Protein backbone atom coordinates (compact mmCIF):
# COMPACT_ATOMS: atom_id res chain seq x y z
CA UNK A 1 0.00 0.00 0.00
CA UNK A 2 1.34 3.42 -0.91
CA UNK A 3 1.39 6.30 1.51
CA UNK A 4 -0.09 9.74 0.93
CA UNK A 5 3.43 11.07 0.46
CA UNK A 6 4.15 8.48 -2.24
CA UNK A 7 0.94 9.42 -4.05
CA UNK A 8 1.87 13.12 -3.94
CA UNK A 9 5.19 12.35 -5.62
CA UNK A 10 3.40 10.26 -8.25
CA UNK A 11 1.02 13.17 -8.94
CA UNK A 12 3.97 15.54 -9.13
CA UNK A 13 5.51 13.36 -11.83
CA UNK A 14 2.48 12.08 -13.71
CA UNK A 15 -0.41 14.39 -12.84
CA UNK A 16 -2.90 14.90 -15.66
CA UNK A 17 -2.49 18.66 -15.77
CA UNK A 18 -0.63 21.65 -14.41
CA UNK A 19 -3.31 22.28 -11.76
CA UNK A 20 -2.99 18.73 -10.42
CA UNK A 21 0.79 18.99 -10.24
CA UNK A 22 0.55 22.42 -8.58
CA UNK A 23 -1.86 21.03 -5.98
CA UNK A 24 0.54 18.16 -5.25
CA UNK A 25 3.39 20.66 -4.86
CA UNK A 26 1.33 22.71 -2.39
CA UNK A 27 0.45 19.57 -0.46
CA UNK A 28 4.14 18.71 -0.16
CA UNK A 29 4.58 22.14 1.42
CA UNK A 30 1.85 21.23 3.91
CA UNK A 31 3.71 18.01 4.72
CA UNK A 32 6.75 20.12 5.60
CA UNK A 33 4.62 22.31 7.86
CA UNK A 34 3.14 19.29 9.67
CA UNK A 35 6.42 17.34 9.88
CA UNK A 36 9.41 19.72 9.92
CA UNK A 37 11.81 16.85 10.62
CA UNK A 38 11.13 15.54 7.10
CA UNK A 39 12.79 18.50 5.34
CA UNK A 40 15.92 16.72 4.14
CA UNK A 41 14.01 13.59 3.12
CA UNK A 42 11.49 15.64 1.09
CA UNK A 43 14.22 17.59 -0.69
CA UNK A 44 16.19 14.40 -1.38
CA UNK A 45 13.13 12.78 -2.98
CA UNK A 46 12.53 15.90 -5.08
CA UNK A 47 16.02 15.74 -6.62
CA UNK A 48 14.89 12.95 -8.97
CA UNK A 49 12.01 15.12 -10.18
CA UNK A 50 14.19 18.20 -10.59
CA UNK A 51 16.33 16.19 -13.03
CA UNK A 52 13.40 14.70 -14.93
CA UNK A 53 13.49 14.91 -18.73
CA UNK A 54 9.85 16.09 -18.65
CA UNK A 55 9.53 19.87 -18.42
CA UNK A 56 6.19 19.66 -16.57
CA UNK A 57 7.71 17.44 -13.88
CA UNK A 58 10.66 19.78 -13.39
CA UNK A 59 8.32 22.77 -13.10
CA UNK A 60 6.13 20.97 -10.56
CA UNK A 61 9.24 19.98 -8.60
CA UNK A 62 10.42 23.60 -8.43
CA UNK A 63 6.96 24.63 -7.22
CA UNK A 64 7.21 21.91 -4.57
CA UNK A 65 10.62 23.19 -3.45
CA UNK A 66 9.11 26.67 -3.12
CA UNK A 67 6.13 25.37 -1.15
CA UNK A 68 8.37 23.34 1.14
CA UNK A 69 10.82 26.16 1.79
CA UNK A 70 8.01 28.63 2.47
CA UNK A 71 7.07 26.39 5.40
CA UNK A 72 10.56 26.18 6.88
CA UNK A 73 10.81 28.47 9.91
CA UNK A 74 13.40 31.23 9.90
CA UNK A 75 16.66 30.28 11.55
CA UNK A 76 18.15 32.54 14.22
CA UNK A 77 21.23 30.79 15.59
CA UNK A 78 23.09 31.71 18.72
CA UNK A 79 26.69 30.94 17.88
CA UNK A 80 29.24 30.35 20.60
CA UNK A 81 32.79 31.42 19.93
CA UNK A 82 35.82 30.68 22.09
CA UNK A 83 38.54 33.29 22.54
CA UNK A 84 41.29 32.91 25.15
CA UNK A 85 39.26 30.50 27.25
CA UNK A 86 36.18 32.73 27.35
CA UNK A 87 32.88 31.99 25.68
CA UNK A 88 31.03 34.64 23.74
CA UNK A 89 27.49 34.41 22.44
CA UNK A 90 27.15 35.96 19.02
CA UNK A 91 23.65 36.63 17.75
CA UNK A 92 22.99 36.60 14.01
CA UNK A 93 19.74 37.60 12.39
CA UNK A 94 18.85 36.96 8.80
CA UNK A 95 16.10 38.89 7.10
CA UNK A 96 14.08 37.46 4.26
CA UNK A 97 14.37 39.20 0.95
CA UNK A 98 11.26 40.13 -0.93
pLDDT at 2 over 90: no
Give the pLDDT of residue 74. 81
- Write down the domain spans for the chain: 4-73
Q: Is residue 71 within 8 Å of 33, Cβ to Cβ? A: yes
Give the pLDDT of residue 1. 46
pLDDT tens for 16-66 read: 999 999 999 999 999 999 999 989 999 999 999 999 999 999 999 999 999
Give the pLDDT of residue 92. 55
Spatial separation of the C-alpha atoms in residues 33 and 35, rounded to whole Å:
6
Q: Does domain 4-73 have CATH number 2.60.120?
A: no
* Concatenated DSSP letters of the chain: ---HHHHHHHHHHH-SSHHHHHHHHHHHHHHHHH-GGGHHHHHHHHHHHHT-S-HHHHHHHHHHHHHHHTTSPP---EEEEEETTEEEEEE---PPP-
Amino acid sequence: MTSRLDRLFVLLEAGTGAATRRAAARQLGEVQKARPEELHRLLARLMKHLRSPAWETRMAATQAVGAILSNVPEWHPNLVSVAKGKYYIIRFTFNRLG
